[in-house]
Amino acid sequence: MMPILEVRGLSKLFEGLVAVNELSFEVGEGEILGLIGPNGAGKTTVISLISGTLKPSEGELLFQGRPIDQLPAYRRAHLGIGRTFQIMKPFPGLSVLDNVAVGALFGTGGGQRKLNKARDDARHWLDFVDLGHRADQRADDLGGPDRKRLELAKALALKPKLLLLDEVMAGLNHAEIDEVVDVIKKVRASGIAILVIEHVMRAIQSLSDRLLVLHHGQMIAAGVPDQVLNDPQVVEAYLGRRRA
């Protein structure tokens, strides 16, 4: 089975700082790949490079076998790559429903043409993440956990084939984390491949099929969660961090 995403020798330099250093990995179809590492390891940069928000300095990106590293972000969205932002970017002046409707209008394959149909789709996704009751509120009136749900719904409305999640659980309590984990499992059950960045260890342990550990922009370990989390190099990179 062809992997849905292939990353080969990916590098990103920022004015002398090497943020990502010759990274190579694959995401299989329907797989959940966890991406972990200490702060500043370059994880969000990797997501930005895949989604097209940033252009790589070197390396190749292949999505379903097609090279995408020169494509602008909106084209990658049309191909089926969706992402959430760690520092959330809702459309503040729009209603929650319309926020998600934008995704439905411009998503995979170019999205919906009709506004009405897009709004119907948006309602479906809001229900999926359990935010349906807030459809008509303004996006900037939402509290923290609801904003995360909205961010997720917006990405899902694109009907992506690959979903890139950037720390969707930051700042949530235990019960809320469990809810989000359930939603992510639902997403995977519908066939979508997911690349998850997380710091909440128990969540990412239970979710991921495989784990990738990044440190100073380089991959230092890869494999199944149990194996990776006991790897002495990984432990050393995290020395001093509590495991949730």
Partner 1 sequence: MKRRIAWAAGAVALVLLVLVPWIATPTLIQFGISMLLLATLAQGWNIIGGYTGYACFGNSVFYGLGSYGTAIAMVQWNLPFGVGLAFGAVLAVVFAFLLGLPVLRLRGHYFAIATLALAEVMTAIISNLDIAGRNIGLVLPLLKGDTLFYELSLGLLVLATLTVLWISRSRFGYGLIAIRESEDAAAVMGVNTTLHKVLAFALAAFFSALAGGIHAYWITFIDPESAFDITLNVKMIIMAVFGGPGSILGPVIGAFLLSAISEVLSTQVSTVASLFFGLVIVVAVIFMPRGLADVARRFKQYGLRYFGENVKAHRL
Spatial separation of the C-alpha atoms in residues 56 and 217, rounded to whole Å: 13
The footprint of partner 1 on residues 182-241 (CB under 8 A) is none
45 binds partner 1 (CB under 8 A): no
The footprint of partner 1 on residues 146-185 (CB under 8 A) is 154, 158
Residue type (1 letter), 73? A
Spatial separation of the C-alpha atoms in residues 10 and 217, rounded to whole Å: 10
CB 126 within 8 A of CB 146: no
52 binds partner 1 (CB under 8 A): yes
54: left (phi over 0), alpha (psi -120 to 50) or beta: beta
Please name which of 221, 215, 218 lies closest in space to residue 237, comparing C-alpha atoms.
215
CB 244 within 8 A of CB 201: yes
Q: For partner 1, what does the binding mask look like between residues 94 and 133, x meaning CB under 8 A?
A: x---x--xxx-xxxx-xxxxxx--x---------------
Q: For partner 1, what does the binding mask look like between residues 56 and 95, x meaning CB under 8 A?
A: ----------------xxx-xxx---xx-x---xxxxxx-
Q: Which stretch binds partner 1 (CB under 8 A): 29-37, 38-46, 47-55, 221-229?
A: 47-55
Q: How many residues bind partner 1 (CB under 8 A)?
A: 35
Please name which of 230, 193, 238 lies closest in space to residue 214, comparing C-alpha atoms.
238
Least distance in angstroms from the C-beta of 122 to partner 1: 11
- Binding residues vs partner 1 (CB under 8 A): 51-53, 72-74, 76-78, 82-83, 85, 89-94, 98, 101-103, 105-108, 110-115, 118, 154, 158
